[in-house]
Structure formats: structure tokens, C-alpha cells
Amino acid sequence: MSRIIAAACTAAALLLSSNAFAQEGDVAAGEAVFKKCSACHNVDSAKHKVGPSLQGVIGRQPGVAEGFKYSKAMVDFGAGKVWDDAQLTAYLANPRGVVKGTRMAFAGLKEPKEITDVIAYLKTFTPAP
Ligand code: HEC
């Protein structure tokens, strides 16, 4: 009996992960997009540059990375929020429109695909909960 349950769970997990994969961006393409961010952000280390490290940023509250001095705009924006796909998609398309007064001097990504791809890339640096 327990083997049947285990097999059913494995099948369900495979189904879920393949669905999730279909909706997500292309990690390799996202790595290329991240070149536009890497002047200001690390993602493979917790060290901050001009911008905060983006390691583990997915699921984190905006404006809370330890040791980084954010603008008041980012801290205020972050209250009660987390960086999920929806928040990041909006922010990366138009940083200064979404977080008025942010210090992130970046015009935004024009192509929706660049945004999904870079988010997929950022997720690879987010430890599983
Ligand atoms: C010119 C430098 C610069 C570039 C280029 C840049 N950023 Fe930023 N970014 C910043 C700064 C500075 C902040 C902190 C903003 C604040 O405090 O208002 C920030 C904040 C962020 C945050 C919020 C982090 C947190 O801990 O809440 C995310 C997410 C982010 N940037 C993603 C990106 C991505 C993805 C790219 C590339 C598509 C990018 N940034 C390009 C400088 C930059």
C-alpha cells in the first residue's frame, strides 16, 4: 500500500515540476540578461555592490538585505510585501515607476521575455525553503 502511495506522490511531483517548468523562463538566457544587472548586483555571493546582493531575493521582503543601506522609498515599498514573480515583473519593467524614489538607476527591461528569463535565473540562487 505505501509503495502505491509513494509512486502516486512521485507521479504528482513530476507533473507539478514539469508544469512549473513550462511557465518559467530560460535560465541560460536569464544569465545573459543578468549582465545588465551585474555592474550593481551580485547574485552568487551575499556581498553588496552599488546595489544589494540578489542572492535569495525571491520570497524576501523588499529592502531588508542585511548590511545594505536602501532608500527610504524601497524600505517603505517593502512593508508587507515579498519579491514574488508578480512584484519583480512589475518592478523590473519600470523600477522608478513602481518604487518612486528608488536609488536603482536602471531604466527597466523592455522585453517581457527578458524579465521572465532573469527571474528564472535569480531563482537558481534562492535556497529552497
Ligand atoms: C546602476 C545600478 C543598478 C543596476 C544596473 C540594477 N540595479 Fe537593482 N538595485 C540597485 C540599487 C542601488 C538598489 C537599491 C534600491 C533602493 O534602495 O532604492 C537595487 C535594488 C534592486 C532590487 C531590490 C532588492 C532588495 O533587496 O529588495 C532588485 C530585485 C533589483 N535591484 C534587481 C535588479 C535586476 C534584476 C537588474 C538587472 C535587470 C538590476 N537590478 C539592475 C542598483 C542597480
Q: What is the pLDDT of residue 60?
A: 96
Q: What is the pLDDT of residue 119?
A: 97
Hey, whose CA ends up nearest to atom 1 of ligand 1? 105
Hey, whose CA ends up nearest to atom 2 of ligand 1? 40
Q: What is the pLDDT of residue 48?
A: 98
| Residue 25 CA from chain centroid, whole number | 11
10-residue mean pLDDT profile of the chain (129 residues): values are: 59 50 80 98 96 97 97 98 97 98 97 97 82
Q: Return d(Cα 91, Cα 113) in angstroms, integer.
A: 14
Ligand 1: residues whose CB is within 6 Å?
36-37, 39-41, 50-52, 54, 57, 62-63, 65, 70-71, 73-74, 83, 92, 102-106, 109, 118
- Dihedral sign for Cα atoms in the order 95, 109, 51, 91: positive
Count of other CB atoms within 10 angstroms of residue 83: 21
Q: Return d(Cα 113, Cα 119) in angstroms, integer.
A: 10
Q: What is the pLDDT of residue 126?
A: 78
Give yes or no for a contact between 33 and 112, defined as CB atoms under 8 angstroms apart: no
Q: What is the pLDDT of residue 28?
A: 97
